[in-house]
Amino acid sequence: MKRFIGFIQKEFYHILRDRRSLFILFGMPIAQVLLFGFAITNEINNVDIAILDHSKDATTKEIIAKIAASEYFSIKQIIPNEAAIEPAFKKGHIKAVLNFEKDFSKKLITENKATLQILTDATDPNTANTISNYTSSILKNYQQDLNKAAQTSYKIEPKVRLAFNPELKSVFMFVPGVMTVILMLVSAMMTSISITREKELGTMEILLVSPLKPFQVIIGKVVPYILLAVVNAVVIILLSLFVFKMPVEGSLFLLGAESILFIINALSLGILISTLARTQQTAMMVSLMGLMLPVILLSGFIFPISSMPLPLQIISNIIPAKWFIIIIKGIMLKGVGLDFIWKETLILIGMTLFFIAISIKKYKIRLE
Amino acid sequence: MNTKNAIQVENLTKTFGAFTAVNNISFHVGKGEVFGFLGANGAGKTTAMKMLIGILKPSSGNALVANFDIATQADSVKKSIGYMSQRFSLYNDLTIKENITFFGGIYGLNKADIKTKTHALIDDLGLHDEANKLVGALPLGWKQKVAFSVSLLHDPQIIFLDEPTGGVDPITRRQFWEMIYREADKGKTIFVTTHYMDEAEYCNRVSIMVEGKIEALDTPKNLKTTYNADSMDQVFLKLARNLA
């Protein structure tokens, strides 16, 4: 244990004395969270929605048909009652629910006014915004047709309600993404660089000649980065809580546990890279091109996966970050528990074990 | 096997695919001996040495280092040897004191021991002013002296030096060899590879490796007589030419 503490202390000397890594470790997270605090817009099509129809009359059927006919939406589900709305959202399949009030037709004729509630999942604020705009305009269209035919002024009132992110802040969408990128960067890139640096300088040989076992050397190199990544996760969460007033709806404990799982996943990737790369430059390029770009572009961090071409959608499945973003969005914005994200959690655990297994195999080959 | 020897090597072979890096070599190194392990680049010196220090498994043959089998008791071998590499062995971004603390720590020395050894080492080398400076700021010759002293921290019986004086000026090389002799006088065994043929003359015995095999092994004096040469340099050239 004493040897181990000495090893970690030495690792911290390396990190603290290298301005470049210090900047990557502590400057980047803050800069990125602040930068991405501002929105980026994107488009939608074929969004999955659900219908909750309390009246089931001619008018609502016509409106539903009109919506179904549009290229923006596809109706995935018919919901029986209010209680079923939340579970439908939490499953994550649908992005909006159209809730027609009771006696829609009757009210429209007798009172000249009926209400349609548009509920959207605003964990993805841009999509939510677009959905409510598009729905409202379809309704307006229908209303105009109706008025022309009847010569009276019927009014359908769309009431938009945003679930999960009522203030529609896009920063709420970016914080999970930035956290994912930072944890990936710190864990995978920094560890792979720090391990290959020892190889490059020849000090790895000295460590292997010492009585330390190879796995002790690797764990000793990795532990400081687990600590730093945890510090970073905490900093990002604190920033989002106090600077952007972002809520954490779900359990903080679960959020912490899932973050540590993702950190370990990224670290095992870093170790894998370092067993393959001979130099720091290679390790850095592989980390940047092979990890950072997919994490930023294909994980659903900036561009919704549902709007990607099919091949990219398939590729996105092998990116651990995609699953982690689903998990933390679920915990932070929807407040879901493990019962809703167990599948994603299992996928992350599986990937981690896979990376560790390959690393061990590669590492052994190198020592033969 | 003869247990009086510090290193006992029998029919040691290492192949990488179809390439035989070390071809059936056998030799021994006595306790307290300064043994020079010579050969051109690519002759298999480094591969042979890596097997002896327990970081490379032999393909066949066996060897005892400090009476431990390198194939099955690598952990015990590692505890009994010191190693200094041709590439720099210390961390440049740590101070001399921090390097000593770190390497002392990974060899399992306790705090009090590390403290005593640190003082002794700094006194020996006269580095009081530099003790808290980063190693990266020291001249190469000094770094190598510190690295050598650090490899002795855990009091190993055998010290492996892989081209320890590469790139160092002649005066510092001379001082370095004085340090090596001091350790040999204390009964430690020194196993050293070098490119400098004048350094070969400082060794008790030398072996010369050519293309994976040991082609000559004797005292420098006997080698010069056998090959009818004035210097080790000539011995080396003759050996290399004959076989080319």
| Token couple for B70 | 């390198």
A155: nearest Cα among A115, A211, A182, A184: A115
- Over the stretch B130-168, which tens digit does the pLDDT of each residue have? 889 999 898 888 888 899 999 999 999 999 999 888 888
pLDDT value at residue B185? 93
One domain, residues A305 and A242: yes
pLDDT digits (tens, 9 = 90+) for A36-70: 665 444 455 678 888 888 888 888 888 888 888 87
Percentage of residues in chain A with pLDDT exceeding 70? 89
Mean pLDDT of chain A: 82
**CB A264, CB A352: distance < 8 Å:** yes
pLDDT of residue A364: 63
- What's the total number of domains in chain B? 1
- Is residue B209 in some structural domain? yes
pLDDT of residue A42: 46
**Nearest residue in chain A measured CA to CA from B95:** A13
My answer on whether A249 and A346 are in the same domain is yes
Mean pLDDT across B116-124:
92
Instruction: Indicate which CATH number applies to the domain containing A115.
Output: 3.40.1710.10
Model pLDDT, residue A175: 77
Give A259's contacts (C-beta < 8 A, 6+ positions apart).
A179, A183, A230, A233, A328
State the CATH number of the domain containing residue B186. 3.40.50.300
Going along chain A, which residue ranges are E strands? 47-53, 73-78, 96-100, 113-121, 155-163
CA distance A318 to A200: 30
Predicted pLDDT of residue A39: 47
Q: Give residue A152's pLDDT band: very low, low, confident or very high (50, 70, 90).
A: low
Residue A41, in any domain of the structure? no
Instruction: Identify the residue whose tokens are 């679920």.
Output: A330
Q: Using one digit for the tens of pLDDT, what is the confidence trace for A89-126?
A: 888 778 888 888 888 888 888 888 888 888 888 777 77
Claim to verify: residue A98 and residue A6 sit in the same structural domain: no
Write out the DSSP string of A124-153: SHHHHHHHHHHHHHHHHHHHHHHHHHHSS-
Confidence of residue A263 (pLDDT cuts 50, 70, 90): very high
Three-state secondary structure string covering chain B: CCCCEEEEEEEEEEEECCEEEEEEEEEEEECCCEEEEEECCCCCHHHHHHHHCCCCCCCEEEEEECCEECCCCHHHHHHHEEEECCCCCCCCCCEHHHHHHHHHHHCCCCHHHHHHHHHHHHHHHCCCCCCCCEHHHCCHHHHHHHHHHHHCCCCCCEEEEECCCCCCCHHHHHHHHHHHHHHHHCCCEEEEECCCHHHHCCCCEEEEEECCEEEEEECHHHHHHHCCCCCHHHHHHHHHHHHC
Q: At residue A162, does pLDDT exceed 80? A: no
What residues of B are in contact with residue A200 (Cβ under 8 Å)? none
Q: Which domain covers residue A207, as residue numbers?
A: 2-36+169-367
Q: Are residues A275 and A362 in the same domain?
A: yes
Nearest CA in chain A to B102: A6
Distance in Å, alpha carbon of A188 to nearest chain B alpha carbon: 22
Question: Are residues A276 and A159 both part of a single domain?
Answer: no
Which of A163, A181, A206 corresponds to the end of one domain? Answer: A163
* Chain B CA closest to residue A209: B78
Task: Over range A173-182, report the average pLDDT.
Answer: 81
User: Is residue B25 in a domain?
Assistant: no
Judge: A209–B88 Cβ closer than 8 Å, yes or no: no
* pLDDT value for B1: 46
Is A28 domain-assigned? yes
Span B173-194, average pLDDT:
92
Cβ distance A13 to B101 less than 8 Å, yes or no, reads no
Is any Cβ of chain B less than 8 angstroms from the Cβ of A9?
yes
The arithmetic mean of pLDDT across residues B80-86, rounded, is: 89
Name the strand (E) or helix (H) holding A218.
helix A214-242
Q: Considering the domain boundaries, does residue B84 fall inside one? A: yes
C-alpha B101/C-alpha A21 separation (Å) is 24
Domain assignment present for residue B57? The answer is no
**Number of Cβ pairs < 8 A linking chain A and chain B:** 71
Asked if A250 and A181 sit in the same domain, the reply is: yes
* B110 located within any domain: yes
CA distance A216 to chain B (A): 10
Is A199 in the same domain as A337?
Answer: yes
Domain with B225, as residue range(s), is 32-43+74-243
Q: How many distinct structural domains can be found in chain A? A: 2
- The mean per-residue pLDDT over the stretch A321-339 comes to 88
Residues A94 and A187 in one domain: no
Nearest beta carbon to residue A201 from set B53, B56, B88: B88
Of A114, A147, A163, which closes a domain?
Answer: A163
Note whether residue A42 is domain-resident: no
Which of A205, A218, A219, A278 would best serve as a mutation to test chain B binding (most B beta carbons within 10 A)?
A205
- Same domain? For A107 and A130 the reply is yes
pLDDT at A82 over 90: no
| E strand or H helix that includes residue A229 | helix A214-242
Complex prediction ipTM: 0.84
Higher-pLDDT residue of A145, B61: B61
**Looking at A136, A163, A190, which one is the last position of a domain?**
A163
Look at residue A367 in the predicted model and tell me its pLDDT. 53
Do A108 and A180 share a domain, yes or no? no
Rounded Cα–Cα distance for residues A157 and A137 (Å): 11
Query: Is the same domain home to A191 and A325?
Result: yes
